[in-house]
Chain A
Amino acid sequence: MERDKNFILGVYDDEDVLMDAVTQLRKSGVKIHEVYSPFPVHGLDEVLGYRRSRLPIAAFLFGMLGTTLALVMQFYMMKFDWPMIIGGKDHASLPAFIPVTFELTVLLAAFGMVGVFMVASNLKPWGQARIFDLRITDDKHVMAIDLATNAGLGEEKLADVLKISGATEVNKKSFE
């Protein structure tokens, strides 16, 4: 069977039941493809075994880039390219450069991180999500299990496991 095509779906009403189900299924050796929720369920990424997001690192690096660019820009313009005496101050007056440096740090950190997030999560205006169940943006949590990666367990066994774990519905979904 081909991977990433045929799924069995467990539909859950309650996030706490869902969390227990994820833990239970993973313990019994089921490989969960992904869980889809209408809102962020705290701790769900941990029980699914996802590693912590590295986006804070991206934010930090972009922030540092902003700091550097801002300082280089201001020192170049004010000290080297066209030195001017303003209010009798030094051409290179660092305290006066702090506000713009701060703003550009925040600007680049925010935009850089959000940009990386968009690319990583494939978010774009022309993006089309693969929708397992329309209700995942309304009131249901859906656990998707790839039938191919869990070939050893068999479809019926998986349906039983999902039902026992507290799924209110068990459905099938295939993508072309």
Chain B
Amino acid sequence: MQVTSSVREPLITGGKTLKDVTHDISRQVEGKPSMLWLLAVLVSVGALALGFIALAATLWEGIGMWGLNKTIGWAWDITNFVWWVGIGHAGTLISAVLLLFRQKWRMAINRAAEAMTIFAVICAAMFPIIHMGRPWLGAYWALPLPNTFGSLWVNFNSPLLWDVFAISTYFSVSLVFWYIALIPDFATIRDRATGLRKIIYSALAFGWDGAAKTWSRFETVSLILAGLATPLVLSVHTIVSFDFATSVIPGWHTTIFPPYFVAGAIFSGFAMVLTLMIVTRKVFKLEDYITIGHIELMNIVIIITGSIVGIAYITEFFIAWYSGVAAEQYAFVNRAFGPYWWAYWSMMTCNVISPQLFWFKKIRTSIVLTFILSLVVNIGMWFERFVIIVTSLHRDFLPSSWAMFYPTWADVGVYLFTFGLFFTLFFLFAKFFPVINMFEIKSIIKSSSTKQPK
């Protein structure tokens, strides 16, 4: 029996059967790695190795290796931190929020988006830890362990400490959510495999039996985890924004930061999902599962969140003027027309103007243009964080301490290291893990796929 809705576009094309789904997704895991994949891993590991030189130098010499000075104490590192955390917002948003809203199109992309989230949060967490200067002491600087094993505790009034809790909770809950959904798919691979692969995937599948009782519990767990992860996603970037908003620096001390940061995070996260998925669907021939329809829907999310970000930029300017506070007004005029004008206008172009192009159906359904614009959005979002952090700091309250920030090779190198790490992990995931959630796709094959040729 095949039910085709006349209203909704099918989510899966090519008349796939259940067996086809198993075959199409497991094939990537079981087959020999392609030359293209090997090349991609080689480039990523190369970036990782090259970046490691900068990381090692930073750890050896201290963060004096970076371009920071006494005026600008946060620059590339915290920019990268906020940028990576922002990217890490799409995965759990897609799998949790869209699950609660019963958006079935999430099923083709949630697995990879969650993997991306986890890897991005790993990259993000590195920066504040390195910035501590002596990260090996970080455990009792950041966790509620007594200082020098006496009894002075961490400061629970500080948003920086809230961040430690927010990001570590977000990371571990996302990891569990992701892994729970992987178990049934590992079982599929286990049951097709022989030899060493069977041993490995048996361990990964945790003895999954596919019983109705287990599925029933599994569904409950997914729903509750989605319910828990939804406020969690919103809390993470809210708390990251508190790092800035609770300070008294003009340009940071802004009440709209929490929603503005969350919208920006979803915006950049979806852009990174698009960048990765467009490549993945091509390399692994998944065009029947990740259709133009999926890309269009993600582009619509980008229009919405991009517009929220644009309104936030304008609101900030308006409020700075309306507040009547000279320091606040100066901070914003300096952003747009001061020495960092180029960063400000790059941000405005990439984040406010370019996503508006997606109002044209031709553009939002074009793979090449979507790919280019997804990169543009991520460049723009990096500049947004750079603008917020560096331009607010570089003109201090005392003109005698005004300064400029110039990145060193170590700044760039550590950033490169995280790129290497992110892509190495993502490519390993794409090869050895089922990139698309097979069981979820199978559950909608009757209702949401094109007619099976019989």
| Chain A residues packing against B (C-beta within 8 Å) | 14-16, 34-41, 44-45, 48, 50, 53, 55-56, 59, 73-74, 77-78, 81-82, 84, 86-87, 89, 93, 96-97, 99-100, 102-104, 106-107, 109-111, 113-114, 117-118, 120-131, 134-139
Residues of chain B contacted by A99 (CB below 8 angstroms) = 159, 162, 165-166, 235, 239, 242
Q: How many angstroms from the CA of A48 to the CA of B211 in the assembled complex? A: 12
Cβ A127 vs Cβ B153 within 8 A? no
Cβ A128 vs Cβ B207 within 8 A? yes
Q: Tell me the minimal C-beta distance from B298 to chain A in angstroms.
A: 24
Q: Tell me the minimal C-beta distance from A56 to chain B in angstroms.
A: 6
B232 at interface, CB cutoff 8 A: yes
* Interface hub of A45, A48, A126 (most chain B Cβ within 10 A): A45
Contact with A along B122-166 (1 / 0, CB 8 A): 000000000000000000000010000001111111010110011
Q: Tell me the minimal C-beta distance from A84 to chain B in angstroms.
A: 8
Q: Tell me the minimal C-beta distance from A136 to chain B in angstroms.
A: 5
Q: Which of B153-212 contact A (CB under 8 A)?
A: 153-157, 159, 161-162, 165-166, 169, 172-173, 176-177, 180, 183-184, 187-188, 190-192, 202-212
B366 at interface, CB cutoff 8 A: no
B6 at interface, CB cutoff 8 A: no
Cβ B224 vs Cβ A129 within 8 A? no
Number of contacting residues on B, CB 8 A? 65
Cβ A48 vs Cβ B228 within 8 A? no
The 6 closest A-B pairs by CB, nearest first: A127-B207, A139-B18, A45-B216, A129-B209, A77-B153, A99-B162
Cβ B156 vs Cβ A78 within 8 A? yes
Q: How many angstroms from the CA of A59 to the CA of B232 in the assembled complex? A: 15
Q: Tell me the minimal C-beta distance from A135 to chain B in angstroms.
A: 8
Q: Check A37/B144 contact, CB under 8 A, given A114-B180, A121-B217, A129-B187.
A: no
Q: Check A55/B220 contact, CB under 8 A, given A110-B176, A128-B202.
A: yes
Residues of chain B contacted by A89 (CB below 8 angstroms) = 157
Residues of chain B contacted by A53 (CB below 8 angstroms) = 216-217, 220
Q: How many angstroms from the CA of A123 to the CA of B181 in the assembled complex? A: 13
Cβ A106 vs Cβ B212 within 8 A? no
* Interface hub of A89, A97, A139 (most chain B Cβ within 10 A): A139
Cβ B211 vs Cβ A123 within 8 A? no
Q: Check A41/B212 contact, CB under 8 A, given A73-B144, A100-B156, A137-B187.
A: yes
Cβ A40 vs Cβ B207 within 8 A? no
Cβ B156 vs Cβ A74 within 8 A? yes
Count of A-B contacts judged by CB separation below 8 Å: 192
Cβ A107 vs Cβ B169 within 8 A? yes
Given known contacts A35-B211, A123-B207, what 10 new A-B pairs fall within 8 Å (CB)?
A: A38-B18, A87-B157, A96-B156, A99-B239, A103-B169, A107-B169, A110-B228, A123-B206, A138-B18, A138-B191
Residues of chain B contacted by A110 (CB below 8 angstroms) = 172-173, 176-177, 225, 228-229
B313 at interface, CB cutoff 8 A: no
B440 at interface, CB cutoff 8 A: yes
Cβ A102 vs Cβ B235 within 8 A? yes
Cβ A127 vs Cβ B165 within 8 A? no
Chain A, residue nearest B23 (CB): A138
Q: How many angstroms from the CA of A74 to the CA of B224 in the assembled complex? A: 27
Cβ B151 vs Cβ A82 within 8 A? yes
Q: Tell me the minimal C-beta distance from B219 to chain A in angstroms.
A: 5
Q: Which of B331-361 contact A (CB under 8 A)?
A: none
Q: Tell me the minimal C-beta distance from B60 to chain A in angstroms.
A: 34
Chain A, residue nearest B165 (CB): A103
Cβ A34 vs Cβ B176 within 8 A? no
Q: How many angstroms from the CA of A122 to the CA of B166 in the assembled complex? A: 30
Q: Check A55/B165 contact, CB under 8 A, given A103-B235, A123-B206, A129-B209.
A: no
Of the candidates A36, A104, A134, the one whose C-beta lies within 8 Å of that of B169 is A104
Cβ B151 vs Cβ A16 within 8 A? no
Q: Tell me the minimal C-beta distance from B22 to chain A in angstroms.
A: 5
Chain A, residue nearest B212 (CB): A35
Chain A, residue nearest B18 (CB): A139
Q: Tell me the minimal C-beta distance from B211 to chain A in angstroms.
A: 5
Cβ B217 vs Cβ A139 within 8 A? no
Chain B, residue nearest A98 (CB): B162
10 A-B contacts, Cβ less than 8 Å apart? Answer: A16-B1, A16-B446, A39-B442, A40-B215, A40-B443, A82-B151, A99-B166, A103-B235, A129-B207, A139-B442
Cβ A137 vs Cβ B184 within 8 A? yes
Q: Check A138/B188 contact, CB under 8 A, given A40-B443, A117-B217, A128-B207.
A: yes
Cβ A50 vs Cβ B216 within 8 A? yes
B17 at interface, CB cutoff 8 A: yes
Q: How many angstroms from the CA of A137 to the CA of B434 in the assembled complex? A: 14
B15 at interface, CB cutoff 8 A: no
Residues of chain A contacted by B1 (CB below 8 angstroms) = 14, 16
Q: How many angstroms from the CA of A12 to the CA of B224 in the assembled complex? A: 30
* Interface hub of B188, B192, B210, B242 (most chain A Cβ within 10 A): B210
Residues of chain A contacted by B162 (CB below 8 angstroms) = 99-100, 103
Residues of chain A contacted by B157 (CB below 8 angstroms) = 78, 86-87, 89, 93, 96
Contact with A along B28-64 (1 / 0, CB 8 A): 0000000000000000000000000000000000000
Q: Tell me the minimal C-beta distance from B443 to chain A in angstroms.
A: 4
Residues of chain B contacted by A97 (CB below 8 angstroms) = 156
Residues of chain B contacted by A104 (CB below 8 angstroms) = 165, 169
Q: Tell me the minimal C-beta distance from B438 to chain A in angstroms.
A: 8
Contact with A along B220-262 (1 / 0, CB 8 A): 1100110011011001000100100000000000000000000
Residues of chain A contacted by B210 (CB below 8 angstroms) = 36-38, 129, 136-137
Cβ A59 vs Cβ B224 within 8 A? yes
